[in-house]
Amino acid sequence: MQHLLSVDDMKESFIFDLWSKASDQKDGFSDVLKNKILTNLFYEPSTRTSSSFYSAMVRQGGSVIPINNVKFSSAIKGESLEDTIITMGTMSDCIVLRHPEIGSVDKAAKVSSVPIINAGDGEGEHPTQTLLDGFTIYYNHKKNIDNLRITMVGDLKNGRTVKSLVKLLSRYSGNYFNFVSPKDLRFPQDSIPKKSFETDKIENVIADTDVLYVTRVQTERGSDHEYSLSTEQLNLLPKNSIVMHPLPRVNEIPRDFDNDPRAKYFDQMIYGLWCRMVLLEGIMS
Amino acid sequence: MQHLLSVDDMKESFIFDLWSKASDQKDGFSDVLKNKILTNLFYEPSTRTSSSFYSAMVRQGGSVIPINNVKFSSAIKGESLEDTIITMGTMSDCIVLRHPEIGSVDKAAKVSSVPIINAGDGEGEHPTQTLLDGFTIYYNHKKNIDNLRITMVGDLKNGRTVKSLVKLLSRYSGNYFNFVSPKDLRFPQDSIPKKSFETDKIENVIADTDVLYVTRVQTERGSDHEYSLSTEQLNLLPKNSIVMHPLPRVNEIPRDFDNDPRAKYFDQMIYGLWCRMVLLEGIMS
Amino acid sequence: MQHLLSVDDMKESFIFDLWSKASDQKDGFSDVLKNKILTNLFYEPSTRTSSSFYSAMVRQGGSVIPINNVKFSSAIKGESLEDTIITMGTMSDCIVLRHPEIGSVDKAAKVSSVPIINAGDGEGEHPTQTLLDGFTIYYNHKKNIDNLRITMVGDLKNGRTVKSLVKLLSRYSGNYFNFVSPKDLRFPQDSIPKKSFETDKIENVIADTDVLYVTRVQTERGSDHEYSLSTEQLNLLPKNSIVMHPLPRVNEIPRDFDNDPRAKYFDQMIYGLWCRMVLLEGIMS
């Protein structure tokens, strides 16, 4: 059984193999998962992530049981997460789980008879987001993911995507991080990489950036610090750099930058589809 | 790219071609959309319309991503409609959009990389409803849609279906409209066709009617004017006339009329399926 | 047309034929329902039951229209259950209906143009639950369902599963029932079988039991009587007995009993899938 619960579960060889296959995926359809069923078990709604897994599964020839409002159902009758997982494991071949509580995926994996893919456990992890974030860099930098200058901007304290991506990128040599945030939203000091620089002024670092990773204001997790980059600031970026964002965007990036060739935040959705297609095939076929 | 946002988007040739193919559709299944994915993006729930598109897509061999509660998801994190549309366009080949705000579909179409089908934008339009309404008349009147006497009854002020159908039928020659409503729910005076007659008493016109179009009381849009036709009134209709209703019905038509051969309001659902099958094929294959 | 509304609709020959086929079903996939569409029409949510029908339909090659929140849709516009049923019958080949009101399935069947499967009508019946409960006994007792000692424990007053299962098992010869409950949750006295014994102390009967059927506390139907069996009590069961539970479980059975070979409550979900696969095939192909 091969669960995917955390970035730590993914070895370098696993990642490069997946990225290599995802590079060739494009818009292909296949029947490789024809007689397989995926459960999309979302205790917290996430249209983007659940739709991406849905589309990926269908493109591989499989089917999806979509469960989007568990709170209205068994859970209100007092059923434990574990019993729901065992139950869905009798009906399907893999479970994509999003749950608001950190650690819930570990509980689920402990009892599950089918592989669990963590699609976000509260402030914990969301490893397929990290996979697609890493792939975006790899794919747009000549299949290279080291010796890069990565600038992360925004709420670096609350977002799980930034923490996981830093963890991943730190595995490769020569990557350097710029953390740009207001003082109360700084990157967690206990996990800050050695090769890094902190500032609250993006102009200090933007011209010296290969990857600009902009994060969303996490209003639903208590943050009320709005910010937005201007087109002028974004134009300080080098020509070959890329701009990423895990979405949804609020006002962090102006809409008129969307057609700039450096803007990759919507392409990330396409890459996510490719990565998930390869992942589902690897897990179930 | 071929969006379907409004009745005005549909040329006569497009409509007659679609109706002609729909006439032959019957209950066929095909694989013509085998590797295609449709997104059903419903910001407002509509079981009838979303299920009809779902069934139509599946009958053509395709798959559907069902999104029925957007308000619980990305939208509450502050994502714009445009970003959601761009995102779903990366994962699917066409988007059926229902949204409570008039004009929302135009915003969507402006940024979308895939065709948008308007499935109702508030008090705006719902062109596939108009397509199936027109087809119902065409199909039941020897594939003829001119020189008809159409009686529309009920809330003619708030319902978008009536306005759109009048717009469509006015394109063809010789059609005459009777508008039957209480004074405060009259058909909008600025778009009333020349060949028409207004009354608040259905007995004045019902015996001289080819098509009786009964509308629903729009309680959710503020109307509280209930009404219901009696079996006695309905029996004044000519033998070859037809009775239509966009559904859902509240009490406007008595249940004991359902098996009358003139009652076509449930057949309309079948026709809707045929029309949508042809439409989806035309847009995606 | 073959509806399945009640245990009374199922003749012995129908049941044994279904169970016999279900025994051979295992994890097979087929294309026998390739061009068929099922509507999962759930007015009350039930992840377990709707997912089981979804998975069963897909395994037979068919498609499912998932409708899980009818209350948010046509129903709030005042549409009757009958009109919704007629509408969904124009788009699909069978309707699985869960509705909170007893008798609603009979109303639905009266107007439906396609077969209706009752998936629970309030405090009424849930015949496919009874089918799978019976199959669990049949399958685990050498395809034998008579001369058994069945002990039912918990809230025997409010649960529909117990009443229906007693009705089914009473058809076969030699079955004997022990009813274990607190005084205010006793099995309905007007339908108590002749060959039965009532007690409020499980130790009186547990050692003399072939089938232990544990029920859920129906908190959402007003019961607040919690109870739980201990591992010590469960270990008084004979070696060849089986333990069943319709799920969801709250605390009635301790988790450390889950891996005991007598525990069949999760296997019941697998059996349910097999039974529903055979049922759907029988109804639609």
For residue A24, give the CATH number of its domain: 3.40.50.1370
Candidate from B37, B65, B78 with C-beta closest to A248: B78
If pLDDT is split at 50, 70 and 90, which confidence band does B44 have? Answer: confident
Regarding whether A171 and A72 lie in a shared domain, the answer is no
As a whole-number percent, the residues of chain B with pLDDT over 90 amount to 82
Residues near C190 by beta carbon (within 8 Å), at least 6 away in sequence: none
Length reported for chain C: 285
Residue A91 has its nearest CB partner, among C255, C258, C269, at C269
**Cα(A133)–Cα(A152) distance, integer angstroms:** 13
A204 and A191 within one domain: yes
Radius of gyration of chain A (CA): 19
- The pLDDT of residue C75: 57
Higher pLDDT, A25 or B85: B85
What is residue A74's predicted lDDT score, i.e. its pLDDT?
A: 55
Which of C59, C98, C99, C163 is labelled catalytic? C98
Of the pLDDT bands very low, low, confident and very high (cuts 50, 70, 90), residue B4 is very high
pLDDT of res. A221? 57
pLDDT band at B71 (very low <50, low <70, confident <90, very high): low
Question: C38 pLDDT exceeds 90?
Answer: yes
Q: Residue B72: what are its φ and ψ, rounded to 5°?
A: -85, -5
For B35, other C-beta atoms within 10 Å of its C-beta total: 17
The whole-number average pLDDT for the span B164-169 is 96
Which one of A30, A43, A44, A47 would you mutate to disrupt binding with B, by most B Cβ within 10 Å of its Cβ?
Answer: A47
Q: What percent of chain A has pLDDT over 70?
A: 93
Minimum-distance CB partner of C87 among B66, B69, B269: B269
* Shared domain check, B181 and B138: yes
**Cβ-defined contact of B91 to A273 (cutoff 8 Å):** yes
> Which chain C residue lies closest to B45 (C-alpha atoms)?
C73
Instruction: Give me the residue label for tokens 């929302």.
Output: B104
Which pLDDT score, from 0 to 100, does residue A98 have? 95
**Best residue in C31, C37, C72, C77 for a mutation probing chain B (most B CBs within 10 Å):** C77
Residues A169-187 have pLDDT tens digits of 999 999 999 999 999 999 9
The single residue listed with the structure tokens 């969006």 is: B3
From the candidates B11, B48, B71, B221, which is the catalytic residue?
Answer: B48
The gap between the terminal CA atoms of chain A, to the nearest Å, is 12
Q: Do B247 and C79 touch (CB under 8 A)?
A: yes
The whole-number pLDDT of residue C219 equals: 61
The answer to whether residue B1 is domain-embedded is: no
Distance, in Å, from the CA atom of A241 to the CA atom of A264, rounded to the nearest integer, reads 10
**Residue-by-residue DSSP string for B139-205:** HHTTT--SS-EEEEES-TTT-HHHHHHHHHHTTSTT-EEEEE--GGGPPPGGG--SSEEEES-GGGT
Is the residue at A171 inside a domain?
A: yes
Q: Picking from A1-5, A135-139, C189-193, which range would have the lowest pLDDT averaged per residue?
A: A1-5
**What is the per-residue pLDDT for A1?**
64
Residue B228 Cα, gap to closest chain C Cα (Å): 14
Helices then strands, counting H and E runs in chain C, come out as 8, 9
Domain-embedded: residue C238: yes
Please give, rounded to a whole number of angstroms, the shortest distance from the CA of A51 to a CA of chain B.
7
Q: Across the interface, do C248 and A77 touch by the CB < 8 Å criterion?
A: yes
Asked whether residue B134 falls in the same domain as residue B259, the answer is yes
DSSP C207: G
- For residue C63, give every residue at least 6 positions away whose Cβ sits within 8 Å of its Cβ, in sequence order, or none: B58, C36, C37, C38, C57
Residues in chain C with CB shorter than 8 Å from the CB of A76 are 220
Residues A275 and A263 in one domain: no
Let me know whether A221 and A259 are in one domain.
Answer: yes
**A247 and B72 in contact by Cβ < 8 A?**
no
pLDDT exceeds cutoff 60 at C72: no
Provide the domain limits for residue B34. Answer: 7-125+269-284
Average pLDDT (B266-276) is 97
What per-residue confidence (pLDDT) applies to B64? 98
Give chain C positions within 8 Å (CB) of A86.
258, 266
In a domain, B166, yes or no: yes
B78 occurs within a structural domain: yes
Is C2 inside a domain boundary?
Answer: no
| A158 has a pLDDT exceeding 90 | no
Mean pLDDT over each residue of chain A, to the nearest integer:
93
User: Mean pLDDT, to the nearest integer, of A62-81?
Assistant: 77
Burial (CB < 10 A; 0-12, 13-18, 19+), residue C170, is: middle
At C123, the pLDDT band (50, 70, 90 cuts) reads confident
| Chain C interface disruption, residue of B48, B216, B259, most C CBs within 10 A | B48
- Rounded-to-integer distance, Cα A24 and Cα A26, Å: 6
Q: What is the pLDDT of residue B79?
A: 87
**Pair (A262, A278) in one structural domain:** no
Q: Are B156 and B89 found together in one domain?
A: no
Contact A158, A218 (CB under 8 A): yes
Most C CBs within 10 A among B32, B46, B54, B71, hence the mutation to make, goes to: B54
Question: B232-244 pLDDT, tens per residue?
Answer: 999 999 999 999 9
Measured CA to CA in angstroms, residue B284 lies from A107, A235, B114, B233 at distances of: 43, 38, 9, 45
Domain count, chain A: 2
Examine the domain organization and report whether B236 and B104 are in the same domain: no
Categorise residue B103: left if φ over 0, alpha if ψ from -120 to 50, beta otherwise.
left
One domain for residues B164 and B261: yes
Q: Is B59 a catalytic residue?
A: no
Nearest CA-CA distance, residue B266 and chain A, Å: 29
Residue of C nearest to B42 (CA): C73
Say yes or no to pLDDT of C71 above 60.
yes
Q: Contact at 8 Å (CB) between B41 and B84?
A: yes
Query: Which residues from chain C sit within 8 angstroms of residue A63, using beta carbons?
Result: 58
- Say which of A34, A78, A90 has its CB closest to residue C248: A78
pLDDT at residue C242 is higher than 90: yes
A51·B39 Cβ contact <8 A: yes
Q: How far apart are CA B180 and CA C39, in angstroms?
A: 37
Residue A75 predicted with pLDDT over 80: no
CB pair distance less than 8 Å for A54 and B65: yes
pLDDT at C49: 96
Other C-beta atoms within 10 Å of A34: how many? 12
C-beta of residue C38 within 8 angstroms of C-beta of residue C94: yes
Chains linked to B by 3 or more Cβ pairs within 8 Å: A, C
Annotated active-site residue C98? The verdict is yes
Q: Cβ contact (<8 Å) for B69 and A45?
A: yes
Strands of the sheet with B176-180, listed across from one edge: B196-199, B176-180, B149-153, B211-214, B242-244
Touching C (3+ Cβ pairs <8 A), the chains are A, B
Cβ distance B270 to C87 less than 8 Å, yes or no, reads no
List b or e across A131-146, with b for residues whose CB sees 16 or more CB atoms inside 10 angstroms: bbbbbbbbbbbeeebe
CB contact under 8 A, A58 and B69: no
Nearest residue to B134 (alpha-carbon basis) of B18, B41, B247: B18
B246 and B236 within one domain: yes
Q: Looking at chain C, which residue has its C-alpha nearest residue B247?
A: C79
Nearest chain C residue to B64 by CA distance is: C65
Same domain, B135 and B222: yes
Percentage of chain C lying above the pLDDT 90 cut: 83
- A1 lies in a domain? no
Distances (CA, A) of B80 to A212, A221, B112: 22, 19, 13
Look at C138 and B44; give whichever has higher pLDDT. C138
B76–A47 CB contact, under 8 Å: no
Structure tokens of B153?
A: 């009854």
- pTM (two decimals): 0.95
Report d(CA A11, CA A29) in Å as an integer.
27
Q: Is residue B2 part of a domain?
A: no
Residue listed under structure tokens 């206990």: A190
Residue A23 in 3-state DSSP? Answer: helix
